[in-house]
Structure 1
Amino acid sequence: MPMPSRLGRYAVRRRIGSGGFATVWLAYDEQLDSPVAVKVLADNWTEDQAVRQRFLEEGRFLRKVESPYVVSVYDAGELEDGRPYLVMSYADQGTLADRLEVLALTSGQALEVVRQVGAGLQALHVRGVLHRDVKPANVLFRTVEEGGRTEVRAMVADLGLGKALDMSSRLTMIAGTPSFVAPEQAQGEPLDPRADQYSLAALTYLMLCGRAPYSHASLAAAAAPGAPPALSTPDRDFPPEVDAVVRRGLAPDREDRWPDVAAYVEALAAALGPDADAGPSGPWLPLDPELTQPGARPSPLPPSRPLAEPVPPRRTRRRVLGAVAGLLALAVGLGIGYAVEQRRDAEISITDDTGTLSVTVPSDWDRARSPRMWQAPDGGGEFPALSVGTTADWTDVATTAQGVFLGILPGDELPEQVPQHPECDGADEPVDDTIDDNATRTVVYTRCPGGVTVERIVQLASNRLLWVQVRSADRATATAVLDDVEAHGY
């Protein structure tokens, strides 16, 4: 949407960010002389009562909590065109995701983030609210004046997936960020606060050792996570007590975790010891103008199914290229000049553990790979899969990371609809094609956070489909990766 001059009584300064469900604007409260963040429901969702209700519930959940470690909602309203909006705290020091992109946190800084985020989650739980999507992008930092000096405060944000505990005990939508979501949440089971504790433990692991405990490509993979690697790395060594605390927080069975978030935070602080405490002088997290973001990045609701998509099988590279012809025609029709681009010299070919699936990608994509089997949606069973990306959370709809996911699943016909991507602002018409009697369906989503997302599904055999998703900065790279996907044995 174009930048409005005002949203309600708030003067708009600039856009902070946007996703598939909302746009967030930096605005100014002239009456109170203060900057605020105004989150407005996207106009294409105004008539969808379920999405509208979820948007308003976020505001209600946040208003239930009086905590300095939870983003505050100051006001709510409705624009003339019927779109609701929420007026919230403005986070002038960006997100934890921003910080981790440019510097590693010390043990003391990580512990302080855990303490403050834990305090925010505990406040939500006391008020009967689950967050359900604790991850780096949903931890915001803002500056506050405390005791005559400037401090940086961490706040829990974005309750787009939040649920009242009484509702979560009866009905749970399967959603969340795969690398941080609790197994019971990925399985669609009733939830309690230990699901948020699991996500906080995954966040702890990331901050302490510089990598996430898991690089799940889908919620199906998150449903059966297995044991994470050891917390210690050659660069950062931690006592066994610290590893034990975090592993208990990451226990697949919630009954084996800590009783609550407060108990987990207390145990972590004791295991790290006094040397990990943040120093008494100056902000525990330094103010850095280069790091400062204009506000919180909205995190749209992820799709209910794992991100992925099918692709052409058992064809040589030349034959598979024909499957892209429809995409080429569409691109030319849009005036994009969609020529086959010269592939980068640095490429790498990767095969899954079973030898069924392989793909060639730019070498810088091979930073996080998972060649293991996956659980097909709707309890369809375990099948070969392969995920490769520039980061472990490349499937997160809010990131600009790139990657490809391949997964075989049961099916005797193409689905009516490929996975949707509301985080993208545009989508081409679906392209149905037949290559050597193999039916395919492809959709290209455009103006996505990282560029383009291509969803494709192919009928491999009478009872097998291949599902492929590619996220890339440009169409040419996405097409080249699709061209280099192979399924063996079909």
Structure 2
Amino acid sequence: MTTASTHPLVGDLVDGRYRVLRHLADGGMATVLLATDTRLDREVALKVMRPDLAADETFVSRFRREARSAARLSHPNVVPVFDQGEDDGQVFLAMEYIEGRTARAVMDAEGALTPRAALDILEPVLTGLAAAHEAGYIHRDVKPENILIADRGQIKVADFGLARAVTSQTATADDGVLFGTVAYLSPEQVERGIADARSDVYAAGLILFELLTGQRAVEGDSPIHVAFQHVHGSLAAPSDIVDGLPSQLDDLVALATHRDPDGRPRDAGDYLAQLQRVRAGLSTDQLDRRPVANRRTTSADTASAGTATVAHPRPRTTTAIATSAAAPPSPRRRRGRGVLVALLLAAIVAAGGGWWWTQEGPGSKVLVPDVAGQSQQDAEATLAQNDLSLTEQLAFDEEVPKGQAITSNPPTGTELSKGSEVTIIISKGPERYEVPDLDGKTTAEATSALKAEHLVVGTTTEAYDDEVPKGEVISTTPTTGTELKRDATVSLVISKGPEPITVPSVTGKTADTATSTIEDAGLKVTMAEDAYSTTVPKGSVISQTPSTGTLLPGETVTITLSKGPEMIAVPDVDGLSRDAATKKLQDAGFKVSVQTFLGGVLDEVRASRPSGGTAAKGSTVTILVV
């Protein structure tokens, strides 16, 4: 980056909040200013988009979307984004201000670092990247300029998600920032315009190479040349540049910079684990050894070779090229030089073809169109017009009618390579579930049936029911077949069985009346054997079983009918003494009432009433004693 002493915004209040204090640096897409957040009284780094890019609405929309993604990352090794907005045409980001230097500034000042210092820088970088990869974000522009080293020693990764903002219009050899960006692009980014977590790992491997050697892993005369090297070139080992570097560090660089993404660690977390394992296996002398340049492959040698495509050749290759450049020309050498020129031209053409492929040809980018509200067929046609293919996914929606597109994934406005798949979320209409038929089910069975339909049991009440057995569902509210939203409640009425009936009292009633009374109550009647009764008239109920309490409907009440009194012969007791007469009458089943005349001095029964014939057993016979 280049710095300047002044900027038109210095002294202004941006968005009514950020007071610009001074200009910090210029980048490929924005100017960085130091500002004070007057609302929170803290210093922030204000990143203001270049005016030519701010005029591009597509670019601005992508910039905002990526800024929101970056703002969702929260990690000690990631520079946080506090705010984003626009003020009078100035599109800006407010980020944490880090007082310190970039990794680029450190390498420019110190050159190659010791292995310990190099790993001390890369380890927190990978830690921050690992957190982002785990959260589903990729950086896409990992480079030394985006590694900030605070004066207090903390290391953070900046510009998460913003690499996609760089446009092809800035791809010139004079643009140092983009030139640096191209130097860290993975082969798949160059060839197919795609990136994933392994692309960030690739860039991290190149940065490790640079930290260990003091020179870029991939160099060239133009961004096209550099891009070509990523796809078709090969990297030397760091120990080819600096004597004495452990082979484990060579392997660590080679692991991350494998041309095939499948040959690299799957994300920064995996690469971090490899780095820590390698570091643990190095001795103190190996970690703290000062780098000594290997004269066989210094940057001066590569410059004398007259080509930009051999930043890291094997030593023998470098020596051969350097020798041929110094010797007097011969026909063979001229032919060799012609071949070299032809190869270089072919490389440039191939690189230009790759550039055309990713910028203008089939590998170029398209924006995801807005298909919301379209049918699946129309959405597929819309995507096809934009060189994209459709994958359908169904989802419920309370507002979008069934069969229409709700949204897309990636969302509208996302930049994709031609031929990419876009998932269209098609509405299944409002999410509704029918109340199942729960009649006759137990409470547990009803609960399970409702759960299967994404519904839940609401209030539960009990009621008597003559037909539904105790413990089973009588009815539901809402009723069977009603459509409800997910997790809606359904109230249950559970049977307590038939309602008990109070046993009516029918003692003393006639047989017909008693029978009607009992049956009208819902009970049944059975007759016991008739019995004699001196108190209950013949044909009326003497007794019932049960006589009180409750019975269930259909249960039985047993009644006993009166046969009236039992008639027996009245014995003759005339002439008997009082006691003998009394005993004889009582033995016969009568009660005795005694009347005396003149005090009953003779103790002789002279008359009885009734006298002779029959009388009801248990009735009273009166005797007259003289």
- Taking structure 2 as the reference length, the TM-score comes to 0.41
Question: Deviation per CA, 1:97-154, whole angstroms, max 9, x where unpaired?
Answer: 10000113221221122111111212222222221111111111224xxxxxx43323
Bigger drift between 93-102 and 239-248 goes to 239-248
Aligned to 1:479: none
Equivalent residues of 2:137, 2:161 under 8 A apart = no
Question: Deviation per CA, 1:389-412, whole angstroms, max 9, x where unpaired?
Answer: xxxxxxxxxxxxxxxxxxxx9xxx
Q: Could you tell me which runs of 5 or more consecutive residues in structure 2 were left unpaired when the two chains were aligned.
A: 1-6, 166-177, 286-307, 309-333, 361-626
State the Cα distance separating 1:233 from its structure 2 match: 4.5
Equivalent residues of 2:125, 2:155 under 8 A apart = no
Equivalent residues of 2:133, 2:268 under 8 A apart = no
Secondary structure at the counterpart of residue 22 of structure 2: strand
State the Cα distance separating 1:86 from its structure 2 match: 0.9
Secondary structure at the counterpart of residue 191 of structure 1: coil
Aligned to 2:271: 264
AA matched with 2:128: G
**How does 1:200-349 map onto structure 2 within 5 Å?**
200-216=204-220, 217-219=222-224, 220-233=227-240, 235-273=242-280
State the Cα distance separating 1:46 from its structure 2 match: 2.7
Question: Deviation per CA, 1:172-191, whole angstroms, max 9, x where unpaired?
Answer: xx998232211111102533
AA matched with 2:65: E
Decide whether aligned partners of structure 1 residues 354 and 55 sit closer, same or farther in structure 2, where only a CA change above 3 A counts: farther
CA distance in 2, matches of 1:381, 1:196: 21
Q: Percent identity at matched positions?
A: 29
Decide whether aligned partners of structure 1 residues 152 and 381 sit closer, same or farther in structure 2, where only a CA change above 3 A counts: closer
Aligned to 1:109: 117
Aligned to 2:60: 52
**How does 1:449-460 map onto structure 2 within 5 Å?**
none
Correspondence for 1:121 among 125, 129, 136: 129
CA distance in 2, matches of 1:51, 1:117: 28
Correspondence for 2:194 among 186, 190, 196: 190
AA matched with 1:188: R
CA distance in 1, matches of 2:246, 2:28: 43
AA matched with 1:264: Y
Secondary structure at the counterpart of residue 67 of structure 2: helix
Secondary structure at the counterpart of residue 181 of structure 2: coil
Hey, which of these two has a bigger chunk of helix by percent?
A: 2
CA RMSD of aligned residues (A): 3.5
Aligned to 1:78: 86
Secondary structure at the counterpart of residue 259 of structure 1: coil
State the Cα distance separating 1:234 from its structure 2 match: 6.6
CA distance in 1, matches of 2:124, 2:276: 12
Correspondence for 1:42 among 45, 50, 54: 50
AA matched with 1:82: G
AA matched with 1:55: F
CA distance in 1, matches of 2:185, 2:43: 33
Are 1:155 and 2:157 matched, yes or no? Answer: yes
Secondary structure at the counterpart of residue 262 of structure 2: helix
State the Cα distance separating 1:228 from its structure 2 match: 1.0
Secondary structure at the counterpart of residue 157 of structure 1: coil
Equivalent residues of 1:91, 1:142 under 8 A apart = yes
Question: Deviation per CA, 1:403-456, whole angstroms, max 9, x where unpaired?
Answer: xxxxxx9xxxxx9xxxxxxxxxxxxxxxxxxxxxxxxxxxxxxxxxxxxxxxxx
Secondary structure at the counterpart of residue 38 of structure 1: strand
Secondary structure at the counterpart of residue 198 of structure 1: helix
State the Cα distance separating 1:158 from its structure 2 match: 5.4
Question: Deviation per CA, 1:336-387, whole angstroms, max 9, x where unpaired?
Answer: xxxxxxxxxxxxxxx99753898xxxxxxxxxxx9685252687499xxxxx
CA distance in 1, matches of 2:129, 2:99: 21
Equivalent residues of 2:191, 2:354 under 8 A apart = no
**How does 1:3-42 map onto structure 2 within 5 Å?**
3-5=9-11, 6-8=13-15, 9-42=17-50
Secondary structure at the counterpart of residue 123 of structure 1: helix
AA matched with 1:263: D
CA distance in 1, matches of 2:106, 2:335: 33
Aligned to 2:100: 93
AA matched with 2:228: A
Equivalent residues of 1:77, 1:86 under 8 A apart = yes
Decide whether aligned partners of structure 1 residues 211 and 381 sit closer, same or farther in structure 2, where only a CA change above 3 A counts: closer
CA distance in 2, matches of 1:274, 1:380: 44
Equivalent residues of 2:228, 2:350 under 8 A apart = no
Higher relative CO (CA 8 A, sep ≥ 6), structure 1 or 2?
A: 1
State the Cα distance separating 1:261 from its structure 2 match: 1.5
Aligned to 1:478: none
Equivalent residues of 2:186, 2:202 under 8 A apart = yes
Aligned to 1:447: none
Secondary structure at the counterpart of residue 238 of structure 2: coil
CA distance in 1, matches of 2:184, 2:354: 23
State the Cα distance separating 1:249 from its structure 2 match: 1.0
Equivalent residues of 2:213, 2:241 under 8 A apart = no
State the Cα distance separating 1:194 from its structure 2 match: 0.6
Equivalent residue pairs, number:
285
AA matched with 1:131: H
Bigger drift between 248-257 and 181-190 goes to 181-190
Aligned to 1:423: none
State the Cα distance separating 1:212 from its structure 2 match: 2.2
- Taking structure 1 as the reference length, the TM-score comes to 0.52
Decide whether aligned partners of structure 1 residues 260 and 353 sit closer, same or farther in structure 2, where only a CA change above 3 A counts: farther
Equivalent residues of 1:91, 1:140 under 8 A apart = yes
Secondary structure at the counterpart of residue 202 of structure 1: helix
Aligned to 1:337: none
Are 1:374 and 2:347 matched, yes or no? Answer: yes
Decide whether aligned partners of structure 1 residues 246 and 89 sit closer, same or farther in structure 2, where only a CA change above 3 A counts: same
Equivalent residues of 1:46, 1:52 under 8 A apart = yes
CA distance in 1, matches of 2:39, 2:354: 58
Are 1:355 and 2:338 matched, yes or no? Answer: yes
Equivalent residues of 1:97, 1:136 under 8 A apart = yes
Decide whether aligned partners of structure 1 residues 215 and 209 sit closer, same or farther in structure 2, where only a CA change above 3 A counts: same
Equivalent residues of 1:178, 1:222 under 8 A apart = no
State the Cα distance separating 1:193 from its structure 2 match: 0.9
Question: Deviation per CA, 1:268-316, whole angstroms, max 9, x where unpaired?
Answer: 23223365789xxxxxxxxxxxxxxxxxxxxxxxxxxxx9xxxxxxxxx
Question: Deviation per CA, 1:238-288, whole angstroms, max 9, x where unpaired?
Answer: 22222122102111011111232222122123223365789xxxxxxxxxx
Secondary structure at the counterpart of residue 32 of structure 2: strand
CA distance in 2, matches of 1:82, 1:268: 45
CA distance in 2, matches of 1:102, 1:224: 30
CA distance in 2, matches of 1:354, 1:60: 53
Secondary structure at the counterpart of residue 100 of structure 2: coil
AA matched with 1:23: T
Secondary structure at the counterpart of residue 239 of structure 2: coil
Are 1:181 and 2:189 matched, yes or no? Answer: no
Equivalent residues of 1:246, 1:268 under 8 A apart = no
